[in-house]
């Protein structure tokens, strides 16, 4: 796959690239890898992942880095642009037998120079809590694989919590754990707590508190990645069925959905202010989705293969008139730091109302630039700018409706900043497509599927956006992509889970099992399949489902056609590795990438290269995890 991404003429690995703010340079002395620096043979291995945390060390060197390569896990002091990496002295190194680490996450709330809490997910389904500074292993969750036998795809501490964490598996399930609870010696029994459009939440029935507190089943196929919003109140899930689903986390309510152009979604991230979500996947595209309007507002095409990571750059993202409140001017990492200094989750309780208020015409910023990046299996790094002409196309000037496609409408200016002229297709004949698009929420009502983004105010619904009177939505996915809040929004499902663990009730059949049985019958009987083949069966059944769904959703608000939304071109698109890229993290002084060979590269931001020889850099990189 990597060879396809760079032909002979582009096979040269870039060591620097230029943007409007200056030149980013690869710091070869700041490369982290296995101590022997030998490229890792990546065949059949899990992706290399990187996690960061800041331990607030008074010496000014508080950043710590963790990365996995094959069966090995390394923990180093990260010196970034300040000093060359010393690979001979890892703080901790672990080699696992019989399983491989797949993902990890630090808890920024509990991190000190003497102790850090690191969660590590494994290919066999277990989750380990370790302290690489004390070199201790605190606990092993799902040790007997009674909760889930499939690979851990993503693990995250719940924002603002020192004890709760969320784990996603390739089975399509997510589990909420408490580090204080045990996992029990028998398989958990579940009781349905909440059910919605292609998702269900179950609580674990037990006389005493045990893990998991909750089980989420989301979509069909693997749940590849999830990300908490900067305020910690919402959860975005990218699934192999191609759907992005955004939930209110505490109440387990579906806020909105989006469908990839084709194939599965592999990665997802939030903008620093929580307004936008970017997802990437097997369609080789990056898709920008508006959290408030619940619709696709742009796509970016620059990769030649699957997009493996997307991430916002909180340092380059700017709002010129200062509309962003303090809570939303940083990244997820900054949010964690605010909590660490006593802000707490209460600070974000009214975030949704503040964001909604800021989305009104009067409060929209005059000049906005969101910078985000993406890396893919084509070994390329792409940087993108999302500017106000894409975000608010009807505000600056009234644009005449034309029948020109928006594709190829992007052109770089002399300053290197992408400015996209958006032309809107005003076709009113929507036979066979918009008839299925049922817009039931006012927040999504102003965006008919065949005219995105809409030059009219978003509150004005066009006639073709509504269903005929008495009409129903044939497919549950082709309805409104933004769900209205129900009366139970205030009830926290986490609280319900804690309450439910105190009572032993009659055993209920697992609704997920029933649904799988139905899907199995629908997809023809395939005889007895061994447990080793379960992943292949899931892929087969999900691929059939995905193909059927794609035909029904294309051209709706869930998945607009290519000509219906602006198509971004990357500011930068450079081949920076020999193997597929698996990591992209933006820090204060640099950005960090990693490839499947096990090399973690540091790229100094413009003007930061000189810091390599200086030991007294006051600006520390923020803590955080791989996006």
| Segment 422-466, tens digit of pLDDT | 333 333 333 333 333 333 343 333 343 333 334 333 322 233 333
Q: Across the strands, what pairs with 257? A: 245
Determine the pLDDT at residue 113: 92
240-275 confidence digits (pLDDT tens): 999 999 999 999 999 999 999 999 999 999 999 999
Q: Does a cis peptide bond (omega within 30 degrees of 0) precede residue 212?
A: yes
By the 10 Å C-beta count (0-12 exposed, 13-18 middle, 19+ buried), 163 is classed as middle
CB 601: neighbour CB atoms within 10 A? Answer: 23
pLDDT score at 497: 61
Own/partner contacts of 462-467, CB < 8 Å, gap of 24 or more, are 464/428, 464/430, 464/434, 465/434, 465/437, 465/439, 466/438, 466/439, 467/435, 467/437, 467/438
Instruction: Measure the CA–CA gap between 482 and 480, rounded to whole angstroms.
Output: 5
Res 552: pLDDT: 82
pTM, to two decimals: 0.72
List, for the chain, all residue ranges whose pLDDT scores fall below the cut of 50. Answer: 1-9, 322-362, 396-480, 484-490, 501-534, 536, 613-627
Longest dimension (CA), the chain: 71
What is the structure's pLDDT at 12?
87
Dihedral through CA 267, CA 272, CA 275, CA 280, nearest 10? -20
Closest to 1 in 3D by CA, of 381, 283, 377, 382: 377
φ, ψ (nearest 5 deg) of residue 174: -120, 145
- Residues 446, 554, 552: CA angle, nearest 5 degrees: 105
Sheet with 265-270: list strands edge to edge. Answer: 265-270, 276-281, 285-290, 295-301, 567-568
- Give me the pLDDT at residue 455, please: 37
Bridge-based pairing of strands 295-301 and 567-568 is: parallel
What are 122's two structure tokens?
């494994």
pLDDT for 68: 97
What's the token pair of residue 582?
A: 């698996």
* Per-residue pLDDT at 73: 97
Burial class (CB in 10 A: 0-12, 13-18, 19+), 618: exposed
Residue 476: the pLDDT is: 39
């Amino acid at each position: 796959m990597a060879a396809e991404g760079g032909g002979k003429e582009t096979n040269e690995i870039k060591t620097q690239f230029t943007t409007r703010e200056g030149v980013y340079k690869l710091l070869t002395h700041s490369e982290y890898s296995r101590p022997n620096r030998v490229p890792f043979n990546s065949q059949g291995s899990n992706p290399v992942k990187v996690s960061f945390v800041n331990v607030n060390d008074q010496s000014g060197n508080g950043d710590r880095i963790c990365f996995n390569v094959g069966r090995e896990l390394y923990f180093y002091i990260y010196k970034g642009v300040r000093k060359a990496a010393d690979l001979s002295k890892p703080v901790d190194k672990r080699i696992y037998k019989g399983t491989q680490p797949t993902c990890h996450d630090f808890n920024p709330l509990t991190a000190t120079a003497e102790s850090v809490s690191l969660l590590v997910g494994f290919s066999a389904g277990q989750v380990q809590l370790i302290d690489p500074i004390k070199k201790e292993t605190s606990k092993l969750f799902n040790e007997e694989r009674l909760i889930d036998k499939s690979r851990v795809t993503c693990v995250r501490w719940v924002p603002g919590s020192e004890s709760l964490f969320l784990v996603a598996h390739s089975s399509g399930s997510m589990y909420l754990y408490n580090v204080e609870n045990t996992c029990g010696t028998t398989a958990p029994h579940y009781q349905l707590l909440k059910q919605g459009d292609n998702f269900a939440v179950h609580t674990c029935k037990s006389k005493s508190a045990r893990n998991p507190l909750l089980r989420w089943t989301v979509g069909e196929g693997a749940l590849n990645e999830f990300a908490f919003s900067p305020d910690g109140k919402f959860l975005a899930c990218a699934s192999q069925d191609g759907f992005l689903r955004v939930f209110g986390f505490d109440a387990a309510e579906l806020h909105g959905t989006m469908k990839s152009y084709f194939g599965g979604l592999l990665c997802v991230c939030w903008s620093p202010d929580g307004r936008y979500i970017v997802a990437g996947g097997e369609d080789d595209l990056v898709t920008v989705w508006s959290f408030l309007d619940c619709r696709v507002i742009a796509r970016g095409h620059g990769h030649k293969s699957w997009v493996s990571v997307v991430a916002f750059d909180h340092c380059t993202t700017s709002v010129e008139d200062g509309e962003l409140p303090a809570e939303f001017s940083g990244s997820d990492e900054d949010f964690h730091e605010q909590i660490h200094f006593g802000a707490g989750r209460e600070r974000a309780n009214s975030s949704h109302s503040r964001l909604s208020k800021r989305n009104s015409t009067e409060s929209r910023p005059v000049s906005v630039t969101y910078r985000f990046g993406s890396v893919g299996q084509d070994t390329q790094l792409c940087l993108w700018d999302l500017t106000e002409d894409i975000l608010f196309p009807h505000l600056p000037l009234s644009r005449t409706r034309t029948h020109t496609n928006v594709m190829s409408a992007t052109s770089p200016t002399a300053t290197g900043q992408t400015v996209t002229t958006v032309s809107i297709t005003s076709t009113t004949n929507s036979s066979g497509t918009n008839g299925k698009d049922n817009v039931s929420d006012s927040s999504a009502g102003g965006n008919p599927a065949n005219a995105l983004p809409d030059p009219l105010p978003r509150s004005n619904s066009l006639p073709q956006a509504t269903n005929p009177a008495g009409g129903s939505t044939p497919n549950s996915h082709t309805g409104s992509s933004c769900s209205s809040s129900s009366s139970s929004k205030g009830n926290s499902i986490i609280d319900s889970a804690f309450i439910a663990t105190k009572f032993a009730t009659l055993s209920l059949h697992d609704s997920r099992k029933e649904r799988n049985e139905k899907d199995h019958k629908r997809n023809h009987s395939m005889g007895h399949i061994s447990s080793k083949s379960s992943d292949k069966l899931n892929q087969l059944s999900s691929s059939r489902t995905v193909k059927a769904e794609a035909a029904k959703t294309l051209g709706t608000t869930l998945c607009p056609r290519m000509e219906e939304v602006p198509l971004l071109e990357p500011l930068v698109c450079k081949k920076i590795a020999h193997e597929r890229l698996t990591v992209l993290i933006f820090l204060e002084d640099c950005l960090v990438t990693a490839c499947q060979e096990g090399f973690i590269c540091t790229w100094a931001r413009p003007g930061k290269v000189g810091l390599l020889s200086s030991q007294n850099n006051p600006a520390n990189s923020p803590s955080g995890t791989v996006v």
